[in-house]
Amino acid sequence: MKKRGIALLLSLIMTSSVIAGCGASEETGKSAQTSSSASDTAISTEATELTLPLTDEKETITVWMTNDTTAMAKNGGDYNNNPYYQELEARTNVHVEWQVPAAQTEAEQFNLLFTSGELPDLMYYNTGTVYYKDGLDAAVEDGYFLDLTDLLPKYAPHYLEALKKSSENVQKAAVTDAGRYVQIYSILQNSQPSFFGYVVRQDWLDECGLSTPETFDDWENMLRTFKDKYGASAALSTVPTFLWNLGYGMGVYNITDFYQENGKVKQALLDEPEKTRKFLTTLNSWYKEGLLDPDFASETNFWGNSVLIANDNTGVTCTMYTIPSALFLPSMSDSDASFSAIKYPVENKGDELKAGYVVPDTNAAWVISADCKNPELILKWIDYMYTEEGALFGNYGKEGETFNMVDGKPVYTDVISNNADGLSYDEAMRIYTYEPSWPGIYYDWERELQFVSEDDFKMCYVWNDFDHEATYYPSYASLNLEETAEYSDIFSDLSTYIQENLLSFVTGSKSLDEYDQFIETVKSMNLERVVELKQSALDRFNK
């Protein structure tokens, strides 16, 4: 492996040309051509035939993977105890030596890999949580990650074919600023509607004679009614992240982050300070009146506090469409309780929402170490998950055991849907199929619909009713090496300052009379410069 010092020296020599290449439209066009030609090569270039087993002699690969605590609790702490990976090894003749850090230490342990002097062959990678701080191109140039551009067409053609069928955003994200393929994504077979949002106690709405709330005034009246009639101490309960989403209906988008309109990056505190003031004033009013959970600032239950719900202390919360029937209702003593999805509130009836949760067509990825002795085998091992057979096996397990074909469609058996060992369907899927949300598979998210009622799934269409392009800043738009360093220096402290003050304004521990000073302080901490950096990343991505 190259040493960091050598890579930095080479980087200094090449700095001017690299910066010019990232910024110039001519070079950006070249990057786009690289993406297109590499994908096309999957068809035009003769690929190595993928036959099982992948190797005559059993081969071992080392894989660094995050800790799925649910699976680990059921498999004795070793993914190789999962029947799925045992069958995968039998099919491919590839044995996996898993390297799994303790839960919640993944980011720290991933960073330590680069000081250890030896990287595993294959590593989990996620730009939001587990990533190389200087970016993918730097990881290649520093001698850590393998450039896969020339290898994918020959050894992973099925992956490239799936990539060509994915969204434009995913295709652009798959290529770095320098025109390289470095990471291998998991790709959705079909686009997925928004799977989380706010739900309301529909039985309470009905008993109170209230219509589905649309405006902020409707929400306030609803919450006040729930508090007065049912004694709900936390009529509205959610984590701060989802509470800020209520600002969408006031034109306050991603208050702690960034958004874009017509290709221009914006930040609510800079671009809509008065709308933000109004939004915070509304939340503060709700908090003072006791309509908002008094402990919301420390709430950690992302998908809803089931204790508050079971005790009839909450009438509105944010959750996933699979949760109400699976978790909330079984814990409630009221057999008539029911939940329905509601949209984010708007200021006036009929207003269109211009923001919501856009489900990415991909999430995590694999990266291969530059020290890997047999990257061709690893690519074929991954590519198997994108073949028709491999994707079916990955999503549904072994035919005749975990699923059967019924009318041409895979249907889970009782091993998954009614497990004799008491495993829930989610636990069983993590043991008998490829792990949900893991990288490197042509993922069929619709498989979970076998366990979800039609009414529950309808929630997704309520939450999905917004303009998906209006303010969405693509998560795939990445900063380059120089931008990343500057962004981190500025935004780490700034982000903490913003979030702490927002919470204080809502709870009243800081008066909204100090809001103007807060905005001036944010500007003085170089928020405008951070917006410029995000703009550069978006411009490159769009070109």
With b for 16 or more beta-carbon neighbours within 10 A and e for fewer, the 401-436 pattern comes to ebbeeeeeebebbebbbebeeebebebbbbbbbbbb
| DSSP-derived secondary structure for 394-407 | HHH-SBTTTEEEET
- Of the candidates 34, 32, 366, the residue with the CA atom closest to the CA atom of residue 183: 366
Give mean pLDDT, residues 294-317: 95
Confidence of residue 128 (pLDDT cuts 50, 70, 90): confident
- Rounded CA Rg of the chain: 25
> pLDDT at residue 381 above 90?
yes
Predicted structure pTM score? 0.81
> pLDDT at residue 15 above 50?
no
pLDDT in tens, 392-424: 999 999 999 999 999 999 999 999 999 999 999
All structural domains of the chain: 4-191+360-373 (3.40.190), 208-356+469-542 (3.40.190.10)
Lowest mean pLDDT, pick from 29-33, 48-52, 62-66, 501-505: 29-33
What is the per-residue pLDDT for 39? 37
User: What's the rounded Cα separation, in Å, for the pair 191 and 361?
Assistant: 6
> pLDDT at residue 455 above 60?
yes
pLDDT in tens, 235-265: 999 999 999 999 999 999 999 999 999 999 9
Under 8 Å between Cβ of 113 and 64: yes
Under 8 Å between Cβ of 64 and 120: yes
User: Regarding beta strands 236-237 and 196-201, do their DSSP bridges make them parallel or antiparallel, or are they unpaired?
Assistant: unpaired
Lowest mean pLDDT, pick from 167-181, 391-405, 520-534: 167-181
User: What's the rounded Cα separation, in Å, for the pair 86 and 364?
Assistant: 23
Lowest mean pLDDT, pick from 12-21, 98-107, 171-180: 12-21
> pLDDT at residue 522 above 70?
yes
User: What's the rounded Cα separation, in Å, for the pair 65 and 267?
Assistant: 35
